[in-house]
Structure 1
Amino acid sequence: MITMTLAEIAEVVGGTAHGDATVTGGAFIDTRTPEADGLFVAIVGERVDGHDFAEQAVAAGAVAVLGSRPTSVPTVVVDDVVTALGDLARHVHDELAGLTTYALTGSQGKTGTKDYLAAILEGDGPTVATRGNFNNELGVPLTVLRAGLETKHLVVEMGARGVGHIAQLCRIAPPDVAAVINVGTAHIGEFGSREAIAQAKGEIVEALGAEGTAVLNADDPLVAAMAPRTPGTLVTFGTDAMVRATEVFTDDLGRPSFDLQWRGSGASVHLGQLGNHQIENALAAAAMALANGIDLDAVADGLTVARPPSRWRMELHDRVDGSAVINDAYNANPESMAAALDVLRGIRRQAGRRTIAVLGEMFELGD
């Protein structure tokens, strides 16, 4: 985050400063994951009131609090903490003149794509990316506030549980490059239909300016149909798109390799993650990076060395007894479950190994 005094923060968010401090670190909402010299954001939840942890937050490294009432430590008091957090993030974003912002959404694969893209961009310069799946009205501004004057690339994952949500997130972190990976059935219980999901996801490319770039999945009809909704330049990825994979090969544990094609040139990619569904995520990330001028070979190298840090998504654990456990327990929807089972089927077919699927329930699917 850029250096700001408590008085400066109060002016930006329309609050009142109680006490004096200078914030140089990021913002956080959980005292278990503090930001050194940062801003603790006190959220009043159903069971926990963040204001009660103000002193603990300072002991963990914060220098001040953003809250809805004064605390025993330096605090900026506002009427609506979530709105103020977004306003602060937008101010910081606007101050970072050399920053390129990449925003992405999709029913599944957002986090995998985000991790691939961050791995590519880190080879080009200092990169800040969404941690885990911090992709909502709290997670997006917290991600932005981790960026500083030295940050070259900002990668922001955006989720939605209703029409208008992504538009609001884009007002906090206006994208230069925006991608829609797919439109599936995740959260269809809230939206009611895939068409409604597509309406919400497409807000991310509507937020682009004429100088921006929209990256769309040519293999998903609902995503491809978003092309007229953006004023920006269009780049597509998919089977027969501008960015595509050829010569696909999968090893015995389901790790794909392919030739990455872009503007008549190719480069070899060997993914360390399991499943051919990772190719879609990798192509989306590649398209976003290539659209912003990253060299094709650098993109391929970034995808090959990528070992995404987000947990419980097709994690492979080799046991000492020779068996392997694939942990894909983070979340589930019909498409991601089918992809996981396809990986398991491929391992059985190619390696001749006995395979066992342990399945949990899927929620948020409506009737």
Structure 2
Amino acid sequence: MIDLSLAEIADITGGLAHDIPDPSVRITGAVVIDSRQVEPGGLFAAFDGEQVDGHDYAARAVAAGAAAVLAARPVGVPAIVVPDVEKALGALARAVVERLGTDVVALTGSAGKTSTKDLIAQVLQHHAPTVWTPGSLNNEIGLPLTALKATADTRHLVLEMGARGVGHIAYLTGLTPPRIGLVLNVGTAHIGEFGSREQIAVAKGELVEALPDEAAGGVAVLNADDPLVRAMTARTKARTVLFGEAEDADVRATDVRMTPAGQPSFTLHTPTGCGEVTLRLYGEHHVSNALAAAAVAHVLGMSVAEIATALSGAGTLSRWRMEVTERADGVTVVNDAYNANPESMRAALRALAAMGGGARANGGRTWAVLGPMAELGDESLAEHDAIGRLAVRLNVSKLVAVGGREASWLQLGAYNEGSWGEESVLVSDAQAAVDLLRSELRPGDVVLVKASRSIGLERVALALLEREGEVTGR
């Protein structure tokens, strides 16, 4: 974080100093919301959560080295007391970003946000010091915490923005105004809350509406292959850069092919030339993510050779997103259990099918261990049924549907598509899935584990790896 005094922070946040003997004391460490993560000279923001009240840990935070606490009430230790800690944190983030003058790159989309953010971060690191959103901390608290990690040396700030309703992204862009805005896609994630894909597009498009105009350097990076995203060109005064496989895309891919292991290769085209890319990531869906990252890097001045090299060397930074691990016995576990929606579920199944070519050559089978997709509203039955059918169409060897009603729809979809024997099975919970897999897996098998985060299906992948021991993260 940029060096600020407690007096300056009180002024920025509209707070009052309590039990602060010297307002000139400066914050030189990180801003955190977990007292266990406090650094000497840092600032502890005390949130009153559903299960824990951070104010109860204020004294512990100061004892651990925090210079002060950002709090909603006096806490008996040095504190800046504000009416609303969340809003104060946001105001502090905006002030810091404005003082630093760093380039803010914001991205949103229904699927692939975190994977694309990780790619952008890894590519831009080759260009200049870069700070980015860790994991999926893309909400009203996670975004300012990320922004406050920036320092005077930071050139690029890459921020993932999530939305659960209209107005959310507009609020986030107000905290850290972006110069470059990237919209990946408009899918059906959270459609139960939004009501329709068109409403999701309204929310995602708030990002491009927040950009400065072209004369001020604003750039909207949009997916040429998604009609709802492409249409956002009419909602921004910024310069538009299109990415995708469409012929008129400014940054596009040709000659897309898959390696035997299921990793995509393609020729990258930018306005300044071409380069060859072979990703370390698994699944053809990462081509679109890579093109989005390439478009951002192009806008920021990187050469096509630099971009292609950086993309080819980029890996997975965030856990439980297509994490591929080979066990000692030759079983490969693909842990993609962080979250799921219809688009990401289809992409993961296609990636599994691509990996299955090598598996079958070695006598192995493909297993899809799938759980419910949350927040689909009235579309839930149809979407789960469609995923079960797709598993059959992709010739996945075994479908294990885990859970209750939604899982039964997965299994029924597979059955109705032609999975009448033992190719699909419904089990009650994660432990039942683990027991089944432990009894039936054999060398050469590839196991995909995926469901919405609330289901906790990562326990299946972790149990399979813990028992047999990890060998190599491919």
TM-score by length of 2: 0.75
Secondary structure, counterpart of 2:368 in structure 1: coil
Preserved contact between residue 24 and residue 37 of structure 1 (Cα < 8 Å): yes
- The yes-or-no answer on 1:74 pairing with 2:78 is yes
Greater C-alpha radius of gyration: 2
Alpha-carbon distance, 1:227 to partner:
0.3
Deviation string, structure 1 residues 89-109 (Cα, Å, up to 9, x no partner): 111111012x11100000011
Could you tell me which residue of structure 2 aligns to residue 16 of structure 1? 16
- The yes-or-no answer on 1:358 pairing with 2:369 is yes
Alpha-carbon distance, 1:61 to partner:
4.2
Deviation string, structure 1 residues 267-287 (Cα, Å, up to 9, x no partner): 111111110011111111111
Look up the equivalent residue of 1:345 and give its one-letter code: A
Question: Moved runs in structure 1, 4+ residues, more than 4 A?
Answer: none
- The yes-or-no answer on 1:156 pairing with 2:159 is yes
Deviation string, structure 1 residues 73-92 (Cα, Å, up to 9, x no partner): 21110011111111111111
Look up the equivalent residue of 2:56 and give its one-letter code: D
Shift in CA distance, 126/264, structure 1 to aligned 2, threshold 3 Å: closer
Q: Of 281, 289, 292, which aligns to 2:300?
A: 292
**Bigger relative contact order, structure 1 or 2 (CA pairs below 8 A, ≥6 apart):** 1
Could you tell me which residue of structure 2 aligns to residue 40 of structure 1? 44
Q: Of 7, 26, 33, which aligns to 1:29?
A: 33
Look up the equivalent residue of 1:265 and give its one-letter code: G
Look up the equivalent residue of 1:117 and give its one-letter code: I
Look up the equivalent residue of 1:229 and give its one-letter code: R
Preserved contact between residue 73 and residue 81 of structure 2 (Cα < 8 Å): yes
Q: Of 340, 349, 358, which aligns to 1:341?
A: 349
Preserved contact between residue 252 and residue 351 of structure 1 (Cα < 8 Å): no
Structure 2, unpaired ranges of 5+: 379-474
CA RMSD of aligned residues (A): 1.3
Could you tell me which residue of structure 2 aligns to residue 93 of structure 1? 97
Preserved contact between residue 272 and residue 303 of structure 2 (Cα < 8 Å): no
Matches within 5 A, 1:268-283: 268-283=276-291
Look up the equivalent residue of 2:9 and give its one-letter code: I
Look up the equivalent residue of 2:345 and give its one-letter code: M
Q: Of 237, 240, 264, which aligns to 1:256?
A: 264
Q: Distance in 1 between matches of 2:38 and 2:201?
A: 36
Could you tell me which residue of structure 1 aligns to residue 319 of structure 2? 311
Alpha-carbon distance, 1:351 to partner:
4.1
**Deviates most, 236-245 or 30-39:** 30-39
Could you tell me which residue of structure 1 aligns to residue 182 of structure 2? 179
Alpha-carbon distance, 1:296 to partner:
1.3
Alpha-carbon distance, 1:344 to partner:
1.2
Look up the equivalent residue of 1:363 and give its one-letter code: A
Look up the equivalent residue of 2:69 and give its one-letter code: V
Preserved contact between residue 25 and residue 146 of structure 1 (Cα < 8 Å): no
Deviation string, structure 1 residues 341-362 (Cα, Å, up to 9, x no partner): 1111112235423111111111
Q: Distance in 1 between matches of 2:29 and 2:94?
A: 16
Look up the equivalent residue of 2:231 and give its one-letter code: A
Alpha-carbon distance, 1:62 to partner:
2.5
Could you tell me which residue of structure 1 aligns to residue 381 of structure 2? none
Higher helix share: 2
Deviation string, structure 1 residues 205-261 (Cα, Å, up to 9, x no partner): 111111210000011011001001111100000112111111222122211111111
Alpha-carbon distance, 1:189 to partner:
1.1
Shift in CA distance, 35/201, structure 1 to aligned 2, threshold 3 Å: farther
Percent identity, aligned pairs only, is 57
Q: Distance in 2 between matches of 1:180 and 1:36?
A: 38
Preserved contact between residue 316 and residue 323 of structure 2 (Cα < 8 Å): no
- Paired residues, what number? 366
- The yes-or-no answer on 1:266 pairing with 2:274 is yes
- The yes-or-no answer on 1:239 pairing with 2:242 is no
Deviation string, structure 1 residues 52-81 (Cα, Å, up to 9, x no partner): 111232344422111101123211100111
Shift in CA distance, 228/100, structure 1 to aligned 2, threshold 3 Å: same
Q: Distance in 1 between matches of 2:98 and 2:274?
A: 36
Secondary structure, counterpart of 2:366 in structure 1: coil
Q: Of 209, 219, 227, which aligns to 1:221?
A: 227
Alpha-carbon distance, 1:308 to partner:
2.6
Matches within 5 A, 1:96-115: 96-97=100-101, 99-115=102-118
Shift in CA distance, 9/298, structure 1 to aligned 2, threshold 3 Å: same
Preserved contact between residue 359 and residue 366 of structure 2 (Cα < 8 Å): no
Could you tell me which residue of structure 1 aligns to residue 336 of structure 2? 328
Secondary structure, counterpart of 1:226 in structure 2: helix
Could you tell me which residue of structure 2 aligns to residue 212 of structure 1? 218
Alpha-carbon distance, 1:35 to partner:
4.5
Look up the equivalent residue of 1:356 and give its one-letter code: W
Shift in CA distance, 312/207, structure 1 to aligned 2, threshold 3 Å: same
